Amino acid sequence: MKRILILAAALALSGPLPPSPAAHEPGPPKGLGGERSLPDRYPCVVDDVLRYCRPEKGFWIDLGAGKGQVAIPLIEKTGNPVVMLDPDAEAMSKGLEIAREKGLQDRLLALVGVAEKMPLPDNSVDLLVSRGSIFFWDDPVRGLREVYRVLRPGAKAYIGGGAGSGYPKWAAEKLIGRRKQLMEGDEAPKWKTFVELRRPEQMQAWAEGAKLPQFEVMGKGAISADDPRVGQGVWLLFEKKPEITTRRPEDRLTVRTEGDTVIYSITSPSGIGGATISPWEGWPKKVVLRVHLRGLESFTASTGSIDLRASVLSHSGNRRLLRVVDDGKETPADRGNPYWAEIKALDAKGEPVEGLPGEGGCFEMTLPAALFNDNPKSLTLGWIDFYR
């Protein structure tokens, strides 16, 4: 974040910059200039952004911001600072000049970069808006995956193009009529491509390509204003869902990656709880669970179609029992069974011990690869420790 602010401040102070070499954006076909005589559409877009995203104040990005046409009214409406992210440093410095004239220079920041490789940390962005830009990205699918990466769980992205649901009907009709005319004129092929890229089916294909877990495509495209939710245009709305949810708020499930292995560590003050893991990027080669409990009367890992049930007895030498329920049929998962997994006890230093883990220790289990054969969407865990 520090680096971002420094860069933004440098841009703000240094005045107009030379065009960035990355500023390869071909630009819309000529003729779009004529649309400038119509009422300003950006405040209507901002209203929709706020209505559909309900963002928390914080770190907001306008991706493919150009001159901050969306960012500036967004600041004016909310007071929240906005970072423009665009390969075109020249356009953004114009935006910074406009912000200075409006007395908003302390709220508008600029960052040179592209959607496909954003210079931002994972899970850091509270709102990402992008208008009129995805249609120019070299790789929209990669860009959308990046957007998902940088969003904070619970934050939303609103990406697309259009005039906003509150845009006057007469103006939207004029704009659409003009575009239809241009599709018949000298620049017909360019305008046809312009319209093609802005179809909801295209947006749907990009979102599916990016494997966004949940999303909504709104609007019917560049030459329709028939969707009352957004008026003229097409938009993609999605939220980053948390990958891990615990049943009880006091329980913690943390993730650590070591090469091909992902280690999920569970702590549960009451000793009884559950959690669901839904990894967006799919399952790693090796999934290790560390359950920080003193005993494990019952432990389940369920994919929806297969349940693995484990128990560490509090008697009989802390014998481990493991059973698998596949297609409703429960069978023991003994060594040699594809669902067998060793349940180790580790002490507080992570050293293997006999029996139970003791104070500060944990149970460790490498989940059997067979559990992930069908690439389940989620894994639901449940645990009970009566040892307290």
Ligand X SMILES: C[S@@+](CC[C@H](N)C(=O)[O-])C[C@H]1O[C@@H](n2cnc3c(N)ncnc32)[C@H](O)[C@@H]1O
Residues contributing to the site for ligand X (CB under 6 A): 23, 25, 28, 63-66, 69-70, 86-88, 91, 114-116, 131-133, 136-138
- What is the smallest separation between the CB atom of 67 and ligand X, expressed in angstroms? 7
Query: Cβ 164 to ligand X, closest distance in Å?
Result: 11
Q: Which residue matches tokens 């890229």?
A: 197
Nearer Cβ to ligand X (131/290): 131
3-state DSSP helix/strand/coil % of the chain, to nearest 5? 30, 30, 40
Instruction: Tell me the closest approach of the beta carbon of residue 222 to ligand X, in angstroms.
Output: 12
Among residues 211, 220, 275, which one has the least CA distance to residue 238? 211
* Least spacing, CB of residue 183 vs ligand X, in Å: 18
130 versus 246: smaller Cβ distance to ligand X: 130
Q: How far is the CB of 270 from ligand X (least distance, A)?
A: 47
Strand partners, 267: 252, 292
> In this complex, which beta carbon is closest to ligand X, that of residue 12 or of residue 85?
85
* Angle, vertex CA 70, rays to CA 64 and CA 74, nearest 5: 130
**Residue 244: Cβ within 10 Å count:** 18
Cβ nearer to ligand X, comparing 138 with 374: 138
Per DSSP, 387 falls in state: -
State which residue, 65 or 182, has the beta carbon closest to ligand X: 65
Decide: helix, strand or coil at residue 194.
helix
- In angstroms, give the least distance from the CB of 92 to ligand X: 8
Residue 332 CB partners (closer than 8 Å, separation 6+): 321, 322, 323, 324
Nearest to 234 by CA among 159, 144, 130, 136: 159
* Residue number of the CB atom closest to ligand X: 66
Nearer to ligand X, 222 or 277 (CB): 222
